[in-house]
């Protein structure tokens, strides 16, 4: 790996910034000052120090974000604030949100640079569960619950797959689906004869939103969360 890319991946600055720092003599490789940004290093064997501090390379990074309403699930947007902007100094160029939540939808969003994991979580053939908390306009009826659980026509070529419904209160349910169609939860509830007033994602696969994480905040996944989530890479293969 090139030295400048390594430092970028360690979140030490943009490519142009780290190039300047390398040329200024701020970086050592195995104790020797290196001023050539394109020099190749072995990221797991060589000891890289930036301004005297050793750098630890991580190929993949995983953040849990509690998405608030009002931001869009995109890497960049000309008009709206994006979820990546919530990462502050931890934002780096290769990170992206896994899947999308509507601008007005809140809850769990995984931010990573692991494209293989993202594919496994989003692939329709993997049937990864996504659990949502839904606040409804009217009390949910047994008929509406049954229709959601059986799968229903939302205007696509084929009906939705059966969903799991748990009634929390008269106008509050959790809905668990295994697909990721456009506005699927809202369309399913509408087709069943009700309307979603508030929507929050609680879980995606094995990863559940930390109830202690405030809206707009994020944190690294714990080792246990990361291990459980990485099993999605090989599940159902």
Measured between alpha carbons, how far is 237 from 233 in angstroms, rounded to an integer?
Answer: 8
CA atoms within 13 A on the CB side of 155: 11
Which of 46, 102, 210, 228 does the annotation list as catalytic?
102
The owner of tokens 């659980």 is 149
Q: Which two tokens stand for residue 69?
A: 């309403």
Half-sphere exposure of residue 71, counting CA atoms within 13 Å on the CB side? 22
Would you say 194 and 185 are in contact if contact means Cβ atoms under 8 Å apart? Answer: no
Q: List strands edge to edge, sheet with 27-29.
A: 32-33, 27-29, 48-50, 53-54
* Residue 87, strand partner residues: none
Active site residue 102: yes
The strand pair at 106-112 and 196-204 is best described as parallel
What is the SS3 assignment for 65-82?
Answer: EEECCCCECCCCCCCCCE
**How far from 174 is each of 160, 164, 167, 205, CA to CA, in Å?**
17, 8, 7, 15
Tell me the C-alpha distance between 86 and 217, whole Å: 7
Q: Which residues are known to be catalytic?
A: 102
């Amino acid at each position: 790996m090139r030295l400048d890319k390594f430092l970028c991946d360690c979140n030490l600055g943009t490519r142009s910034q780290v190039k300047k720092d390398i040329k200024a003599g701020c970086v050592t490789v195995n104790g020797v000052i290196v001023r050539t940004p394109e020099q190749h290093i072995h990221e797991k064997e060589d000891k890289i120090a930036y301004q005297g501090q050793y750098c630890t390379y991580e190929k993949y990074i995983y953040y849990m974000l509690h998405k608030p309403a009002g931001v869009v699930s995109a890497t960049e947007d000309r008009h709206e604030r994006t979820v990546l902007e919530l990462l502050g100094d931890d934002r780096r160029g290769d990170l992206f949100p896994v899947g999308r939540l509507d601008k007005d939808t809140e809850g769990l969003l995984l931010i990573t640079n692991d494209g293989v994991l993202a594919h496994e979580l989003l692939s329709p053939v993997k049937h990864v569960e996504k659990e949502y908390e839904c606040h409804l306009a009217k009390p949910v009826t047994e008929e509406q619950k049954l229709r959601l659980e059986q799968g229903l026509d939302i205007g696509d070529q084929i009906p939705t797959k059966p969903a799991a419904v748990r009634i929390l209160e008269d106008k509050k349910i959790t809905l668990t689906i295994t697909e990721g169609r456009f506005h699927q939860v809202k369309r399913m509830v509408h087709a069943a004869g009700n309307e979603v007033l508030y929507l929050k994602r609680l879980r995606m696969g094995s990863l559940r939103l930390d109830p202690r994480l405030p809206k707009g905040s994020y944190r690294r996944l714990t080792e246990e969360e990361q291990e459980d989530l990485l099993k999605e890479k090989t599940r159902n293969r």
